[in-house]
């Protein structure tokens, strides 16, 4: 096999297009993965500045390795992060994959890597301690729903989640929140204060940004932390500095897409140590949107995500085809 099917995004096409590409070769420190399933992320909706194979998150089987990587890994089932995931084969740095626990099939495993790395990294950046009360905004989003479970697996006490829509509180409860706050119209800090006996939460993971950052700061306890993880509403925010100072709140922003390969490798290693046991025993389990889309349906699945209809991670099954151009998916 010298060629593969891949979805390619370009500045001219808002939605990636299915096309034929040469099979990628693993670099010296990379693995080549035969992709079995991929998951969609909000980042897949953003325009690109240069033509590229789309997608970031995959699960599959190691088909080949680079010259510095242990050949015994060939055949291992892995989930990982790499740009160019929306293809039958993808390369990834060998430290940017984690083993898939036996209980998970590839379509469930594909939902995990970005959420695991991001939410684990953010909770660590916020100094999560056992028993802490955590507020997670946009808890219905693909990564944050898993963040609820990760917080709990790392020892959080009460976990509060937000959604804009009352119809989504069931999803938040399925993800494992103790309290769901519907944010349309209500004062977030006031509701958090009510739920925490006036104290505020120890840690906020904010996925909304924009005008939500200030209420997140107001929701934190004195000496608490707000970690900006997502910018669903806006990447810019106006922050009232006096309340930030008065409450002695740590405000920090994380973006693991901008992280050097070694830092990402360190996060994969920490996640494998601290969270794989919780995935194996089911305390951390993928929160999936109903059903699995075929590879050819990927553009429709992106529309489903863009229109805010997804309830959990959207998964695409990727079955390698011997001949490019087949339409039987």
Ligand X SMILES: NC(=O)c1ccc[n+]([C@@H]2O[C@H](COP(=O)([O-])OP(=O)(O)OC[C@H]3O[C@@H](n4cnc5c(N)ncnc54)[C@H](OP(=O)(O)O)[C@@H]3O)[C@@H](O)[C@H]2O)c1
User: Does 275 participate in binding ligand X (rule CB under 6 A)?
Assistant: no
User: Does 221 participate in binding ligand X (rule CB under 6 A)?
Assistant: no
Q: What's the gap between Cα 107 and its chain centre?
A: 15
User: Does 233 participate in binding ligand X (rule CB under 6 A)?
Assistant: yes
Nearest CA among 184, 185, 186, 135 for reference residue 156: 135
User: Does 114 participate in binding ligand X (rule CB under 6 A)?
Assistant: yes
User: Does 254 participate in binding ligand X (rule CB under 6 A)?
Assistant: yes
Question: Contact with ligand X (CB under 6 A): which of 85, 232, 298, 302?
Answer: 232
DSSP one-letter code for 199 = S
- 285/39 Cα distance (integer angstroms): 15
With b for 16 or more beta-carbon neighbours within 10 A and e for fewer, the 243-273 pattern comes to: ebeebebbbebbebeeeeeeebbebbeebee
User: Does 229 participate in binding ligand X (rule CB under 6 A)?
Assistant: yes
Stretch that binds ligand X, among 40-48, 57-65, 76-84, 216-224 (CB under 6 A): 40-48
User: Does 208 participate in binding ligand X (rule CB under 6 A)?
Assistant: yes
DSSP one-letter code for 101 = P
CA distances to 45, 114, 265 from 268, rounded to whole Å, are: 25, 10, 5
User: Does 207 participate in binding ligand X (rule CB under 6 A)?
Assistant: yes
- 17/261 Cα distance (integer angstroms): 28
User: Does 222 participate in binding ligand X (rule CB under 6 A)?
Assistant: no
User: Does 100 participate in binding ligand X (rule CB under 6 A)?
Assistant: no
User: Does 65 participate in binding ligand X (rule CB under 6 A)?
Assistant: no
Q: How far is the CB of 321 from ligand X (least distance, A)?
A: 28
Nearest CA among 328, 329, 325 for reference residue 18: 325
Q: How far is the CB of 144 from ligand X (least distance, A)?
A: 6
Helix axes 113-125, 261-274, angle to 10 degrees: 90
* Residue showing the smallest CB distance to ligand X in the complex: 230
User: Does 96 participate in binding ligand X (rule CB under 6 A)?
Assistant: no
User: Does 11 participate in binding ligand X (rule CB under 6 A)?
Assistant: no
Q: What's the gap between Cα 59 and its chain centre?
A: 14
Stretch that binds ligand X, among 97-105, 173-181, 187-195, 225-233 (CB under 6 A): 225-233
Size of residue set near ligand X by CB under 6 A: 28
User: Does 255 participate in binding ligand X (rule CB under 6 A)?
Assistant: yes
User: Does 136 participate in binding ligand X (rule CB under 6 A)?
Assistant: no
DSSP one-letter code for 140 = T
Handedness of CA 228, 232, 236, 238 (dihedral sign): negative
DSSP code string of 252-266:
EE--GGGS-HHHHHH
Q: How far is the CB of 1 from ligand X (least distance, A)?
A: 31
Stretch that binds ligand X, among 64-72, 152-160, 253-261, 318-326 (CB under 6 A): 253-261
User: Does 143 participate in binding ligand X (rule CB under 6 A)?
Assistant: yes
User: Does 150 participate in binding ligand X (rule CB under 6 A)?
Assistant: no
Do residues 85 and 6 touch, judged by C-beta distance below 8 A? no
**Which is closer to ligand X, CB of 15 or CB of 321?**
15
- 126/222 Cα distance (integer angstroms): 14
Q: How far is the CB of 293 from ligand X (least distance, A)?
A: 15
Q: How far is the CB of 313 from ligand X (least distance, A)?
A: 7
User: Does 179 participate in binding ligand X (rule CB under 6 A)?
Assistant: no
- 84/1 Cα distance (integer angstroms): 18
Site residues (vs ligand X, CB under 6 A):
41-43, 114, 118, 138, 140-143, 163-165, 168, 207-208, 229-233, 254-257, 305, 308, 310
């Amino acid at each position: 096999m010298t060629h593969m099917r891949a979805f390619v995004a370009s500045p001219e096409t808002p939605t990636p297009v299915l096309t034929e590409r040469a099979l990628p070769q693993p670099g010296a420190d990379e693995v080549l993965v035969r992709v079995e399933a991929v998951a969609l992320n909000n980042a897949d909706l953003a325009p690109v500045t240069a033509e590229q194979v789309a997608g970031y998150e995959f699960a599959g089987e190691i088909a080949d390795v680079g010259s510095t990587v242990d050949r015994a890994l060939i055949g291992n089932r892995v989930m990982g992060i790499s740009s160019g995931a929306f293809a039958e084969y993808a390369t990834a740095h060998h430290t940017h994959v984690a083993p898939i626990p036996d209980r998970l099939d590839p379509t469930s495993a594909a939902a995990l890597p970005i959420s695991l790395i991001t939410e684990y990294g953010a909770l660590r950046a916020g100094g999560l301690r056992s028993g802490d009360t955590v507020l997670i905004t946009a808890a219905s989003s693909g990564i944050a729903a898993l963040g609820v479970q990760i917080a709990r697996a790392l020892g959080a006490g009460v976990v509060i989640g937000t959604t804009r829509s009352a119809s989504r509180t069931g999803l938040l409860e399925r993800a494992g929140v103790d309290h769901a706050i519907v944010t349309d119209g209500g004062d977030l800090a006031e509701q958090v204060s009510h739920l925490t006996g006036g104290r505020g939460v120890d840690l906020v993971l904010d996925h909304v940004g924009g005008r939500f950052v200030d209420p997140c700061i107001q929701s934190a306890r004195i000496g608490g932390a707000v970690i900006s993880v997502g910018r669903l509403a806006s990447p810019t925010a106006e922050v009232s500095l006096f309340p930030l100072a008065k409450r002695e709140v740590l405000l920090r922003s994380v973006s693991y897409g901008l992280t050097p390969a070694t830092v990402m490798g360190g996060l994969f290693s920490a996640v494998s140590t601290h969270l794989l046991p919780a995935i194996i025993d089911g305390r951390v389990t993928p929160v999936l949107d109903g059903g699995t889309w075929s590879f050819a349906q990927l553009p429709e699945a992106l529309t489903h995500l863009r229109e805010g209809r997804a309830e959990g991670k959207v998964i695409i099954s990727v079955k390698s085809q011997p001949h490019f151009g087949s339409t039987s998916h």
